[in-house]
A and B are shown apart, each in its own frame.
Chain A
């Protein structure tokens, strides 16, 4: 029924209508399709509002029927024109400001790369810049999908790229490819990954070079991928031909070789340790500096600390006549604390350190139950040394490709 926005756009005129039986004028205006609203009866007149476009038609009706009317007020956009003309600077500035905001927001000012771990952010941003997405790029100069597609072709390590533009910020979201590991698929030997004593061999393919109880060093071939022909005494005649055709087979050796290997951990601990600690007492001085004199306004000049650490914050301005400013000095009292450890305590710490190095060497958290702990120094020594040794049985098989040349 009432469209206020449209009324404001067209302009609203408040009318005061004088005379008797003013209902007649209202009905005639209605018959001509004039929209009237907020009709209020006052003492001897009627007040109402009409649209600016209906004013002429209404004034004709009023004058034809010898009524009188006057305009109370005028509102809406057409009547606002004069105000705009009068204060052109203000409104022009506001429009210019909005245009400037719109213009500035049409550029990319921030670029963020997310979800990348292996591929460098710089590389991704450089590639994006090559295809039009860089800091300061106008939004209308590049297409989001084109940049995504071009970047996918350029960076092989990525499986997905999404460019999201929100306001002046572009977020490049990437998903990296998970490449398969360097698994050996061709012919290979199985070599020893560590020194040890062979305990158990399970051969799947290849030719075994070692037997249980052998001591092997790191790099020794355990299962060879080069299989030599071995005649079977039962079928010697039949296999004579096969020997001539194919005397040597090169295969991908496979198998499990479990061996006893040793790990060692070493740790040491001093019986007497010296540490410097803060006592908790501190003194603060604020000194005002000028070219002529220095003046302390806060704190004691000498707090009387035997050992202290002093932090100085300088706020100084150099001028032709000298230095002005102030210094903030904070002295923190410190003292030396000597700790003597008993033999048991020192052994305990040394053993913990040795255990830690052992765990790091074995690359596993759980240590075997049986381990050999050896104290290397005498109780009177100033430093206690401890060694922890452990032997475990583990798979030492490691594939190594055969260089056929």
Chain B
């Protein structure tokens, strides 16, 4: 059922030329250099320490690995992370 809804949403977004992050609630990631990371449409924090940050998404989760990671701002649907980022991974 969910897959059908997702497919319909994607088709609608493509047909009407609407950004998918709005229609499908997809995460929007912005990186400035390798030290600043911005994320919109998150669903909370799963795990946080200085080397690893796991962020819950609408589908799966996202993992950031690095050193001296710090959550600079945290709002209900957006966040920014500063630190020496080595890797970003998406998990379903």
Q: State which of A2, A23, A31, A41 has its C-beta within 8 Å of the C-beta of B76.
A: A31
Chain B interfacial residues counted at CB < 8 A: 17
Within 8 A of B (CB), among A16-34: 23, 26-27, 30-31, 33
Least Cβ distance of B64 to chain A in Å?
Answer: 13
A30, B49: Cβ atoms closer than 8 Å: no
A26-B48, A30-B76 given; name 16 further pairs at CB < 8 Å. A23-B44, A23-B46, A27-B45, A30-B44, A35-B74, A35-B75, A36-B71, A36-B74, A37-B72, A37-B73, A39-B70, A39-B71, A41-B48, A41-B50, A41-B69, A41-B70
A1 within 8 A of B: yes
Q: How far is the CA of A39 from the CA of B55 in the complex (A)?
A: 14
Least Cβ distance of B70 to chain A in Å?
Answer: 5
12 contacts between A and B (CB under 8 A): A23-B47, A26-B74, A27-B44, A30-B44, A30-B76, A35-B73, A36-B71, A37-B73, A39-B71, A39-B74, A41-B50, A41-B69
Give the dominant DSSP class at B's interface: strand
A40, B80: Cβ atoms closer than 8 Å: no
A33, B74: Cβ atoms closer than 8 Å: no
Known: A1-B75, A2-B73, A33-B76. A39 touches B48 (CB 8 A): yes
* Chain B residues with CB under 8 A of A40: 70
Least Cβ distance of B29 to chain A in Å?
Answer: 15
A38 within 8 A of B: yes
Residues of A within 8 A of B (CB): 1-2, 23, 26-27, 30-31, 33, 35-41, 46, 48
Q: How far is the CA of A374 from the CA of B80 in the complex (A)?
A: 103
Least Cβ distance of B71 to chain A in Å?
Answer: 4
* Chain A residues with CB under 8 A of B84: none
Q: How far is the CA of A1 from the CA of B72 in the complex (A)?
A: 10
* Chain A residues with CB under 8 A of B70: 38-41
B72, A38: Cβ atoms closer than 8 Å: yes
